[in-house]
Structure 1
Amino acid sequence: MVDTMSELFFSGGLEVEDLVDWVEERWQEETRSRSKMESIGKLTLSIPVYLPLMTLSTEFELFEQLRPLQRKSYDNENRFLSPKPVIMLKPHSELLGKITSCNISVFLLDERGTPLCPQEQQYMSGPCGEETTITTPHLRTSSMSIRVSHRLAEIRASLCFIVDYETEDQTKSRCVITSNCFNFVRNRRRTKGAK
């Protein structure tokens, strides 16, 4: 099809506007196709049901654990989990200087370490739609601004970070990091009669 379009264009049988329209249509189709594939890929990865079967990381770590009491974010608020999580490569890791790419997905777990259902996962919003990357010069992520909606049921929760990385020899690996458990502070908004 591309050869046919280029032949028509160079033979004078196709206007520049027609070629531009054709390229735009192909680009839109490709964009829709990619976003479909990404969403399908995300659905298959999105909520790991069997976390115990996934390897706990020995190479990566959470820089600082979360505070045991957290604030939920109400509509039109930006209350983030604190301190903002940072995932880093351990200082003496065997992977130092060997990682070529690294992507991290974030999920909510209950206190038993079971992933929350897809509907409950939607109450969490994070960097780039719950994904972030490790920057190679610093071997750590930037601080992740993760917030949890007030609509999530009152539960004790923790965060799960799934780290997908590739090394120089093109080996792809996956490991898991979990945070400590935390509770949400109850709504303490004053009632109208309070002074």
Structure 2
Amino acid sequence: MTISSLNNQRALFSGLKYEVRVLGALAFRRETNLPTIVEFGYERMANNFGHIFTVDFDNLSVQPPAPTQDEISRWWHMYRQNINIYEQNYHQPSHTNFIKEEQKNSPRLEDTSAPCPRPPVHQQVPLQLTYSTAQIPPPQEPFPHFHLLEPLRDRQRKSYRDESRFLTPKPVIVLRQDSPLRPYIMQCMVSVRLANQFGATLPPEEQSSLVPAEGRPQALLDLYHCRTPPFSFKIDAHLRDMKATLIFLIEYVLSDQSVGRVEVASNVFHFSRKKKNDNEKE
């Protein structure tokens, strides 16, 4: 059976462990956007009919039980109220297509409606997850309202004495035309900082190597054209040779006075060395 509507009940389960009785045709199915839900194999449940297991929804772990009757009753009360299952009809494996298909392919499920005694507490009953936690899909990304107009060139030049070599192409942050924020955004400020290739902000002594032409590494987004003016940055020659990125912090105010913050990272770039002469590099 599929656990549905758990999106709205997630806080209720977080940080808690529950005692779950395996009832033959009753199965827990993982929602694709809920990576903390444990999935039990249907055949495995049939083999372990009537057993009790402790399920930790946060750590995706299943342990042999030592539950009390009060714990079991509390679990089933929460399960009935929040998931809306048919507690009295668990012996009828016809709630989902998944159950129906498994029933056809598994003749051992025919007698699962008969009650089974609970095994002794000391008995170790193994139960394995039917999927690796590494295969759990990440949460759905939020809508990308802003983006970098053009990627930076992979190779950039540092600015040495008496030079003004700016990062190319000059970065521009754009509000997407299909963004739902577009009709409601009232003000938007974009600031820039220098980070390593993994997005970690550089320390202040290296952050100062990002030199803006206008004196401040920030600009207002033009609400009419829905983009910032081009940023003019040069990288001071004292910065160590490394792979770097630019992180754009975007802070905006909507017509209802709500405030939003989002970050956009540039592609990774590195620095070419300046030649002292035709045969020697600095």
Return the alpha-carbon distance in structure 2 between the equivalents of residues 122 and 128 of structure 1.
Answer: 11
Per the TM alignment, residue 191 of structure 1 is displaced from its structure 2 partner at its CA by: 6.1
The structure showing larger relative contact order (alpha-carbon pairs under 8 Å, at least 6 residues apart) is: 1
Q: Which residue of structure 1 lines up, in the alignment, with residue 216 of structure 2?
A: 129
* Per-residue deviation, residues 128-175 of structure 1 (Å, max 9, x unmatched): 411111011100001110111011000100100000000101011100
RMSD: 1.8
- AA partner of residue 255 (structure 2): E
Q: Which residue of structure 2 lines up, in the alignment, with residue 99 of structure 1?
A: 185
* Per-residue deviation, residues 33-91 of structure 1 (Å, max 9, x unmatched): xxxxxxxxxxxxxxxxxxxxxx9771000000000000111122211000000000011
Return the alpha-carbon distance in structure 1 between the equivalents of residues 191 and 215 of structure 2.
Answer: 10
The one of 138, 148, 167 equivalent to 2:235 is 148
- AA partner of residue 189 (structure 2): N
- AA partner of residue 164 (structure 1): E
User: Would you identify which runs of 4 or more consecutive aligned residues in structure 1 move more than 2 Å?
Assistant: none
The one of 269, 275, 278 equivalent to 1:182 is 269
- TM-score, scaled relative to structure 2: 0.47
Q: Is the 8 A contact 1:162 1:176 kept in 2?
A: yes
Name which one, 1 or 2, has greater alpha-carbon Rg: 2
Q: Which structure carries more helix by proportion? A: 1
Segment drifting more, 70-79 vs 83-92? 70-79
| Shift in alpha-carbon separation, 1:190–1:138, aligned structure 2, 3 A | same
> Unpaired segments of 5 or more residues in structure 1?
1-54
Percent sequence identity is 35
Return the alpha-carbon distance in structure 1 between the equivalents of residues 255 and 275 of structure 2.
Answer: 52
Q: Which residue of structure 1 lines up, in the alignment, with residue 161 of structure 2?
A: 75
Q: The residue matched to 2:219 in structure 1 has which SS?
A: strand
